[in-house]
Structure 1
Amino acid sequence: MPHLFDADVVTAVLRHMNGDHADDNLLIARAFAAASDSEVTAARMTGFDGEAGVWRITRGDAEEELRVPWPGGPISERPAVRREVVALYDEACARLGVEPRPHG
């Protein structure tokens, strides 16, 4: 069973990702969603646990859930969430041929 983070941690991370990193959500979704005839046009992070991040993505008129495992494996500490989201972002950039911005 994956580690479940406290609700306040999840709320804070989702607020940050959806408020400050909406473009990163879309980049991650486009890089990790299974190929289809319809490109991902929207993505919003909706949750995460110790094994993966979860996004609600839109392709055409359809919505679906996208669950992406953390690149470094299972996590259980709050600071690891940021590390793993950054790793997903970097991998998404590599997959899509996008120059990643510096992490601060």
Structure 2
Amino acid sequence: MPHIFDDDALAGVLRHMNGDHADDNLLIVRAFAPALDARSATMTTFDGDAGEWAAVASDGSTEPVRIPWPGGPISERRDVRREVVALYDEACARLGVAPRPHG
């Protein structure tokens, strides 16, 4: 059973991802679920095994996209950032996009 993060961790990460990294959400979904032809994406939740996004496809339908963490299961809030950055870097590689530096 995957680790379940508390409400504060979920709210903080989702606020940050959807407020500061909306473009990254779409990039990740396009790279890992290319058949959807996503037009937008919002991170909706995550657990110790994966992150989940709601992707709006080109036909207007909304589809859930669950993407496992590249480094395997996690259980600490600080590890979420590492795994999202790894997803972002892999998405850039898959799509041929130059990644921006990580601070």
Give the unaligned 5+ runs of structure 1. none
Query: Which of 31, 54, 63 is 2:52 aligned to?
Result: 54
Unaligned 5+ residue runs, structure 2? none
Give the TM-score, by structure 1 length.
0.96
Superposition pairs for residues 60-75 of structure 1, below 5 Å? 60-75=59-74
Q: Would you identify which runs of 4 or more consecutive aligned residues in structure 1 move more than 6 Å?
A: none
Equivalents in 2 of 1:26, 1:45: separation in Å?
A: 9
Question: Which residue matches 2:42?
Answer: 44
What is the TM-score with the length of structure 2 in the denominator? Answer: 0.96
Identity in percent: 70
Paired AA for residue 23 in structure 1:
D
Q: Cα deviation per residue 1:28-65 (whole Å; 9 max; x = unaligned)?
A: 010011525xx210100000000000000011221110
Q: Does the alignment pair 1:98 with 2:97?
A: yes
Distance in 2 (CA, whole Å) between partners of 1:34 and 1:17 is 20
Looking at structure 2, the residues matched to 74 and 101 of structure 1 have their Cα atoms a distance apart, in angstroms, of 25
Q: Aligned pair count? A: 102
Is 1:22 matched with 2:22? yes
C-alpha distance in structure 1 between counterparts of 2:60 and 2:90, whole Å: 27
**Structure 2 partner of 1:11:** 11
Q: Displacement, 1:76?
A: 0.2
State the 1:87 CA deviation.
0.1
